Structures are given as C-alpha cells and as structure tokens.
Amino acid sequence: MCLKAALFPDRMFKVRVVVPKDSADKLVEKIVNLGSYEPAEAKVEFGAPIEWARRDLLVIMDHINKLEQYFEFFELSVEPEMGEPVKVKSWEEAAKVAAERAKKIEDEFEKYTSRIKEIEAKMFDVSTLISKPAELPKDVVEKLKETFNLIISREIPAELRKDLAVVDLAAKEALKISTEIVRKVALELLRLLEEEKKFLIEEAKAWASDYEIEISNTYALLLSVKNALEVLSKGRESDYFVYLEGYVPESFFKNTLKALKDYVASVGFALVHMVDYDSEKPPTYVKVESQSAKTAYDVENIYGPPDPREFVPAAIMAFTLPFIYMFMFPDWGHALVLVLFGWGLVNRKGWALAVFRPFGLRRFTRGTEFLGRIMMLVGTASIITGWLSAEFFGPLIGESAVDPAMWLWGALGMAPPLSFGLEHLGDTVIKYVLLSITIGYFHLLIGFLIGILNELRFGRPWKALHYVFPFMLMYATAGAPFAAGFIASGFGSDIEQMMYLTGLYFNEWMFNLKTGHIGPLFVLFVIALLWRGYGIKLELEHEHGRAQASIVGMEMFDNFLLVISNIISYVRIMALALAHWGLVFAFQVIGEIGGPVLLAILYVLANIMVIMLEGLVSFIHNLRLHFYEWFTKFYIDRGKLFEPAVQYTKIIIE
C-alpha cells in the first residue's frame, strides 16, 4: 500500500500581476489553463473593483445553481465534460455564451418541473380530502344531511319520525358513508397523479439522456467561466491597467511563475513573495499522491482542513483508519462484500446505482465515489483480521470446514488467534481488551508527538514543553503496564502469561494496594500532572492574561479523568468486534431452534444486517477515536482548502 503524502502543507507564494486592460482576458485564460492559481481579494489601493465581472459572476453562479437543482430533482448524475473549444473575444462574451446555452437547457427542464409542480399542488389538495374528508364545504354537508334526512324519514316508523335524535343519528351515519366514498375517490386520484408525475420524471430523464453531452458540456462551460470571472472579480482596474493577485503552492510555483512571466514580460510585470503566516493566512495545499492517503486526507477534511503550518496526518491515517477498523470488523466474508460494493461505487456506477437504489442512492456525486474508496480501504484491511479470527459470514460458516481460513489454522495445528468461538470466547475477550488498550496507547502517543511538533512550528516552544509534553507523559505512564504486558506475552499469544505480566508490571511500576508499594511510573505520573498544571497556568495567562487557581485545579482534575477515559475509550474496538460476532451468533441460535429453513432465512438476514449496520457503526466509532481521542491532542483545523481556478472546458480568447 503506497502511503506517499506530504507531511506538511506546501509553502504558499503570493503572485501579483499588473497588465494593460486589453491583455487582462488573455492573462486570465493563461491562469485558468495552468490550474495552480487561487485568486485572492486585492488589498492594495489600485483603481476600482471590476464591476462587470462581479455582476456576470452572480449571473453565472445562478445558472449553475439552477442546473444543479435540476440534476438533484431529476436524480441525474452529471459531471462536467470537456467539449469542443469555445472561441470568444473576452470573458464578458464567454459569460453571455454560457448563460445563453444554460438558459436553453433550463427552459427545457422548466417545462417538466412546472407540470410536475402543478401535479404536486393537485396531490396536496387531494391529500387534504384523505386526511380530513369531513371538512367538505358547508353547503355540501347541509345538502347531504337534507337528502339523507328525507330518505331516512320515509324509512323510520311513523311513531319515531318526530324524534330528532334518531333522525340526526341516521344523518350522521349517512354522512360517514359519504366521507368514506370521498376517501376512496381521493386515493384513486392520488394514484393516478403519482403515475403521471413518475411519467413526467422519466420523460425528463430520457430527454436529459438524449442531450447528455450538451448538458455536460454546458455545465463544464459554466464552471470554467465562473472560475475565470472569480479571478477578475477579485482584481481591480484603473483606466488603463488591471491588477490581480492570488496564491500559488510551492509544488507548482516554478512552472506557474515561468508561464506568467513569459506572458507578462512584454506587456506588464509580476511580483512574487513568500506568504508571511504571521500577517495573513493563505489557503492550505497538501500534495497527496497515493489513493489511500488521499482517501485518508478527505476523511481528515471532514473534521476540518489543516492549518497551513501544521503537520498533516493523512499518511498516518492511511494506516490507522483501516488498522483500527479491521479489529472492529473481523469477518473476511463481510469484508469482501465491502470491497466489492466499494469497487462498484468507484468503477461500475450503473451497477452500483441499481443495487443501492433501494437504500436511498438516487444519483452519483463526488461523495458517492468517496464512500466507495473508504469501503475498499477498510474492507481490504478487514480481510486480514477475518482470517485471524476465521470468520466467514459469521460463525456457522466461519467455524466450519467450508472456511479456507480454518484449513490454514488446521494445517498450522493451532486455533485462530482472534476467534470468538465459544471455546475461545473468554480468552479472546481478555486478549482483545489489552489489544485495544495497546492500540489506543500508541495511537495517542503519536498524537502527542505531532502536537509537540505543531507547537514548535507555530513558534510556541513553551507550550510544547510545559503544556503538551507533560500531558503525553501522563498517558505514557498510565498505559505502559498494559501495553508492555500485551507485547511481552507475544501479543497475547499466551493468555495466562499476558494477565500475569500485566498485573506484575502494574504492581511494580504503578502501585500495589496490598503492599502499599509506589512504583516509579506512578511518581512520574504525579510529577507530570503537576507539570501539566503549570502548563495550564501559562496557557490561561497567554490566552486571558491571568490564571485563577480554582480553574487550574479543575483543569488538572479534568486532565486526570481524560487520561483514563481516553485510553479506556479504545476498548470499544473489542466491544464492536464482539457485537459483530455475537449478533450473527444470536440469529444462528434462534434459527437452529426453529429448524433448517428458519435457520437459513435468519442467517442470511443476520449477515445482511451486520454488513450494513456494523459496517457503518464500526466506521463511525473509528472516526470518533480519530476525531475526538486523537485529533484533540494536536489538530488545529483552522485552514481553508486551496481551490485553484481551473478550466473544465477549453475557452480560447481570440
């Protein structure tokens, strides 16, 4: 698995360009073709804003929003596709061409949406009759009563005809019958309207399919024009010149600067300087080359983009995300399903759309592909623990001769090391608890090391030394006996030895309640806690100008609890693995009581439910361990992603 990714964001350069007004359009064409320049709002006193660009940008963005709303409404998976080059004399003309093309498509979509909205309005009126059929117009109700009163009066015996209570009751029963008729008619009308609505939607989809290339090309043209207008709208102009500025990452700096200078040299000039992070905050660009690291970086950005100066944990997360997940989801049959469906979401969109449609997937977006990449990443890792636990679609198949993993462990003459089988259940749970704590122990220590590095990069050595390092020392001492006991016992290969060594290390290193022995690590833990208290005092003084002793004390107590809770939180790895096995096993036991037919039905349902439910829940808990337990030790997340102006289709300024 290639994990190649930058550990720190690129240094950013600010590029300022001044060119004559008649050369500005050509310069912007060059910028968007390079795709490595993010425009920035001009901060110099130079002329006035380029108003026409701002105005046209709003128009183009409105067209983009309308098209994207139509795509969502009609469940269309439209991606911008590069068509034939568009030749124009200026970006102002390009905006007009793009708007005209978009208007034609919007008008066609509007024909369908307006008819659909009319149908939906009728459906709303009809649904009112279903929910409140008695709320008919008053004159209709009175007419019904009058009619039924006359009918009923002829059928009621003469001696009771003067009894108004009897007549009123009969009228109410008759009205009840009439409202039931209204309800039935309304339901039938709703069905017909729903069919008409579906027909119009399918007709719109068919039209969009016939004109797919034109729609994709127009969408690409709109996006390209939008990016060009954003460059111009953030610039300024005088009577004769245009001033633009923007950011370029170090990875693209040489090529971008050379291309710009080659063009600008004869007509204007360009100024370049490295951004001073103390005076301004540029966007963040991280060079990520491998697919696994890119997936991890996208997950990281769910929490928030990294600060331009901080360590980027994407390369580490490309390992820890699947590593933690695979111990939560140890079934190689279920893992294969995840990989298969993830591959389908990325590479076979038509097939995947048909499969996932019952679960709410209506169209493909960038998020859909992202989900597929995550499923492949974590699913591939879970195949490994599936073999270690000999689980293949649950214990019924996994613990039988059908499972190839059982052939392997049988040939080796040993039980699967992570098996939750009934004969191994107690040992495996104990082993999993220490395994989970050990994973959390090293995961958290890595986070603190990154935190120290970040503080040094931000020019805060006092905080690295007095605030982060002692906190890391508290975690290091508290978790050391458990991690050492697990590792020293051959990673839990000998359960009795593991339990003995863990207890021995804890009694010798931390404390022994029976003998009253105080170990060196416990002393170090107390020193680290006091040291952390001093760091909290410095942090409060730095942020608020003063530090109250009561607040420092509460923070120290909270930090003490955090050490325990953060480490124990990783025991959820064991809990989810046990739940994964236990859920299928529970359905298996119930099915065996009911016979082979019920067993087969329940076993299939259990596997489907576990793949969907446990697959999602395990990933959510995995994110929780990364975002809450891990990121809070170092991650700043105050950045803004680098978004360069790019061309989606070729636009040539003549």
Pairwise CA distance, residues 594 & 598, whole Å: 6
CA angle 445, 448, 450 (to 5 degrees): 115
Q: Which residues contact 637 (CB under 8 A, 6 or more apart)?
A: 303, 304, 305, 306, 307, 631
Three-state SS for 418?
coil
Counts of helices then strands in the chain (DSSP H, E)? 23, 10
Q: Quick check: 520 pLDDT over 60?
A: yes
pLDDT of the residue at 6: 80
Question: Tokens in use for 237?
Answer: 């102009």
Is 636 buried (19+), middle (13-18) or exposed (0-12) by CB count in 10 A? middle
Contact call for residues 520 and 476 (beta carbons, < 8 A):
no
First to last CA, the chain: 47
Q: Mean pLDDT check: name the lowest of 335-349, 441-455, 509-523.
A: 335-349
Q: Report the C-alpha gap between 220 and 650 in whole angstroms.
A: 9
C-alpha dist (Å) from residue 629 to 213, 411, 443, 570: 47, 41, 9, 9
pLDDT tens-digit readout, 370-410: 989 999 999 999 999 999 988 888 887 766 667 777 777 77
Which amino acid appears at position 584 of this protein? V
Whether residue 77 is predicted with pLDDT greater than 90 in this model: the reply is no
Query: Residue 180 has what pLDDT?
Result: 64
Q: Tell me if 477 sits within 8 A of 521, measured CB to CB.
A: yes
Q: When comparing pLDDT for 596 and 143, which is higher?
A: 596
pLDDT in tens, 301-320: 999 999 999 999 999 999 99
Interatomic CA distance for residues 183 and 203, integer angstroms:
30
Q: Across the chain, what does the average pLDDT equal? A: 87
Q: What's the pLDDT score for residue 53?
A: 95
Confidence tier at 151 by pLDDT (50, 70, 90) = very low
Question: Which residue carries 């995840």 as its tokens?
Answer: 338
Report the distance separating Cα 247 and Cα 274, nearest Å: 10
Distances (CA, A) of 561 to 186, 231, 360: 62, 51, 42
User: What is the chain's percent helix, strand, coil content, to nearest 5?
Assistant: 70, 5, 25
Question: How many Cα atoms within 13 Å fall on the side-chain side of residue 334?
Answer: 35
Residue 52 near residue 257, CB atoms below 8 Å: no
pLDDT for 599: 87
Q: Bigger pLDDT: 531 or 423?
A: 531
Name the least confident of 254-258, 264-268, 642-646: 264-268
Q: How many CB atoms lie within 10 A of CB 188?
A: 11
Helices (H), 265-365: 291-303, 314-328, 332-347, 349-356
Residue 398: phi and psi, rounded to 5, are: -60, -35
Number of alpha carbons in the 13 Å side-chain half-sphere of residue 335 = 24
What is the arithmetic mean of pLDDT over 207-218? 93
Domains and CATH numbers, the chain: 6-49+234-284 (3.30.70.120), 56-215 (no CATH), 289-394+405-631 (no CATH)
Given the DSSP bridges, would you call strands 48-49 and 517-518 parallel, antiparallel or unpaired?
unpaired
Would the pLDDT of 214 be above 80? Answer: yes
- Do the beta carbons of residue 352 and residue 341 sit within 8 Å? yes
pLDDT of residue 154: 46
- Give the mean pLDDT of 325-343: 94
Identify the three-state secondary structure at position 5.
strand
Q: What is the DSSP letter of 570?
A: T
φ, ψ for residue 300, nearest 5 deg: -55, -40
pTM, rounded to two decimals: 0.85
User: Taking the CB of residue 620, how many other CB atoms lie within 10 A of it?
Assistant: 10
- The tokens for 303 are 């929490």
What amino acid is encoded at 284 in this protein? T
Distance CA 621, CA 573 (A): 8
